[in-house]
Structures are given as structure tokens and as C-alpha cells.
């Protein structure tokens, strides 16, 4: 049986796949999905460096931007309503239990997934190793597989996934959810 592993909420409706994992405590050995606690994101950033801080920052900015567009995923709790900024959301909710978000180190399971799940694969290079069914490249950085509810986007880094590209990604997510 296929078992996903990573950080966040098990069965989250918003799943992000990444090729690497932080070298922090037991994270490299995870064989399941573990929810983070308040303070864990800051601790991982401190221990593992600026690259991981950028991943968490861009992830929080993406979720916050989706909420700011008055767009919610089906059955997706208004995650950012109680937070005045994406920074507050990042520290107090992202990748925690009941967040509906996950950061997965396992490869996507293309045979079993929930229809209402949005899946993001971080990075073109990683995506090319996955043999994603029905993947259509929209440009050099973004691709979409409607049958998999999956989008490939640049790596979560300020230069690669800038604020303008985050908005473009939000539009692609809206397109996927409108199809469902």
C-alpha cells in the first residue's frame, strides 16, 4: 500500500510535493505525515537555513493570496481569516493539524487521490522525474494535469516563484477547482 510522508495534515486538500526534505530532527526518517506545532517552522528555518525559510514563506504567501482572491477550495476552511498577515498565518497555522495543507516528500500517487485535492509539484526538474499523467506544459515553468488536479510550478523561492507568479499559480488553481 502506498503511504505518503511529509509535514502537515494527513489527507489535506492542498498538497505540495517537494524533492528534498529538511535535515531536522526526525524529518529525514519520516514514514508518515506529521503535523507541525507552533514554532516548528521557525525552528526548521533556523536549523536548516534560508532555503527552507523561503519554502515556508512562499507556501504561506500562496495560501494567503488564494484567500485574498476570495477563492476557497471546495470544503476548504477559510484558513487565513483569523490571521492579519501571511507571516502570522505561517507561524500559527501552516502545515499544522486542521490546516488542510501538507508538504510531501513522497512522490504523488497517481492511482489514488481525492478529487477535491489540489496538488502542486514544486520545480520543473522534479516534475520531469515523476511521469505525471496527462501533463500539459503551459510555458517553461508551469504545467497542469487536469486529470490529476495537479500543477507544476517553480520551486518555492522568491526569485523563482515571485509574487506575480504566485498570482498566476492562484489563477491556475482556480481553473482546476472550476473544472471539478
HEC profile for 95-110? Answer: CECCCCEEEECCCCCC
Q: Is 146 exposed, middle or buried (0-12, 13-18, 19+ CB in 10 A)?
A: middle
Strand, coil or helix: what is 140?
Answer: coil
**Closest to 15 (Cα-Cα) out of 120, 148, 135, 122:** 120
59 occurs within a structural domain: yes
| 152 contacts 124 by C-beta, under 8 angstroms | yes
How many structural domains comprise the chain? 1
Beta-carbon neighbour count of residue 32 at 10 Å?
10
What is the extent of the structural domain holding 150? Answer: 6-179
8-state DSSP, 148: G
With 0.85 as the threshold, say if the pTM is over it: yes
pLDDT, position 175: 87
Question: Angle at which helices 50-68 and 163-179 pack, to 10 degrees?
Answer: 50
Beta strands in the chain (DSSP E): 6-8, 14-17, 33-34, 101-104, 118-122, 136-137, 143-145, 150-153
**Closest to 33 (Cα-Cα) out of 122, 103, 98:** 103
pLDDT tens over the chain, length 180 residues: 568 899 999 989 899 999 999 999 989 898 999 999 999 999 999 999 999 999 999 999 999 888 777 655 544 546 677 888 999 999 999 999 989 999 999 999 888 777 778 999 999 999 999 999 999 999 999 999 999 999 999 999 999 999 999 999 999 998 888 765
Strand, coil or helix: what is 136?
Answer: strand
Calculate the CA 100 to chain-centre distance. Answer: 10
1 occurs within a structural domain: no
pLDDT, position 168: 96
CA atoms 61, 113, 77, 95: torsion sign? negative
pLDDT, position 77: 46
pLDDT, position 41: 96
68 occurs within a structural domain: yes
pLDDT, position 112: 75
86 occurs within a structural domain: yes
Taking the alpha carbons at both ends of the chain, their separation in whole angstroms is: 27
Amino acid at each position: 500500500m502506498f503511504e505518503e510522508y511529509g509535514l502537515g495534515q494527513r489527507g489535506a486538500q492542498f498538497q505540495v510535493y517537494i524533492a528534498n526534505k529538511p535535515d531536522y530532527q526526525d524529518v529525514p526518517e519520516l514514514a508518515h505525515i506529521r503535523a507541525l506545532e507552533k514554532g516548528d517552522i521557525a525552528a526548521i528555518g533556523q536549523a536548516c537555513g534560508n532555503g527552507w525559510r523561503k519554502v515556508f514563506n512562499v507556501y504561506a504567501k500562496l495560501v494567503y493570496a488564494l484567500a485574498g482572491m476570495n477563492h476557497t477550495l471546495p470544503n476548504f476552511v477559510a484558513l487565513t481569516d483569523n490571521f492579519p498577515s501571511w507571516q502570522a498565518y505561517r507561524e500559527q497555522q501552516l502545515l499544522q493539524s486542521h490546516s488542510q495543507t501538507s508538504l510531501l516528500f513522497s512522490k504523488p500517487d497517481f492511482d489514488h487521490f481525492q478529487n477535491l485535492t489540489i496538488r502542486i509539484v514544486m520545480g520543473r526538474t522534479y516534475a520531469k522525474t515523476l511521469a505525471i499523467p496527462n501533463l500539459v506544459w503551459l510555458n517553461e515553468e508551469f504545467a497542469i494535469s487536469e486529470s490529476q488536479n495537479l500543477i507544476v510550478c517553480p520551486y518555492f523561492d522568491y526569485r523563482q516563484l515571485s509574487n506575480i507568479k504566485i498570482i498566476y499559480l492562484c489563477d491556475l488553481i482556480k481553473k482546476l477547482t472550476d473544472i471539478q
